[in-house]
Amino acid sequence: MRLRDEVLAERGLDLRQGAAPLLLIACGALAREILALRAANGWTHMDLQCLPAKLHLTPDRLPDAVAAAVAEARGRYERIFVVYADCGTGGLLQARCAQLGVEMVPGPHCYSFFDGNDAFAARAEDEVTSFYLTDFLVRQFDAFVWRPMGLDRHPELRDMLFGNYERLVYLAQTREPALEAQARDAARRLGLEYRYRFTGYGDLATELAQRA
């Protein structure tokens, strides 16, 4: 059974207990991982506010959404850390965070920082034809991939949308056989070779630990 806090955070709701030294403004797709790290390390001084994971479908809206959350939190938190990578904003989110004077997670996207930004960059040439899934995207494959791309209504679009991909790489944060089975099925549905790589929390753990 999923924890209530995980469900609320993924939907973009607040999990704030009141003023605390550090506020994490994060993507709802990272809710489960952040909550697990916070619990495992006893980081009770970290509060979490998640924006809706569906913002990834419209990345041009991300900088304004993050800026609004930062503005609302000013004066109530000693520190604010933005738990987003660039996430398709073409550097606009990084520029906005710099203007606001807040730090954010380095890297182009969560695939990279879960894998470790250096390791991901080193594999980039070999995996240029790879399509990536994380634990969150495996769970939400239909909601974030299959239906938004119209594959539920027009399966003939699969070859047009994924014809240049060769494999699906599941970057796993946890070792869950049920999720691996779902990832294998996603690869089958997309007509791609399947690969599995356990990453754990990667650079996300490192970045949060540095601010603990």
- Are 155 and 126 in a shared domain? yes
Low-confidence stretches of the chain (pLDDT beneath 70) = 1-20
- Chosen domain end from 62, 87, 105: 105
pLDDT of res. 8: 46
Let me know if residue 210 belongs to a domain: no
pLDDT of res. 78: 85
Please give the model's pTM, rounded to 2 decimal places.
Answer: 0.86
Mean of per-residue pLDDT scores for the chain: 91
pLDDT of res. 56: 87
- Are 26 and 73 in a shared domain? yes
Domain count for the chain, please give it. Answer: 2
- Are 98 and 133 in a shared domain? no
Residue 87, CA distances (Å) to 93, 153, 155, 200 in order? 8, 27, 27, 20
- Are 97 and 121 in a shared domain? no
User: CATH number of the domain that 39 lies in?
Assistant: 3.40.50
Domain range for 68 is 4-105
Let me know if residue 207 belongs to a domain: no
- Are 66 and 29 in a shared domain? yes
- Are 99 and 160 in a shared domain? no
- Are 164 and 98 in a shared domain? no
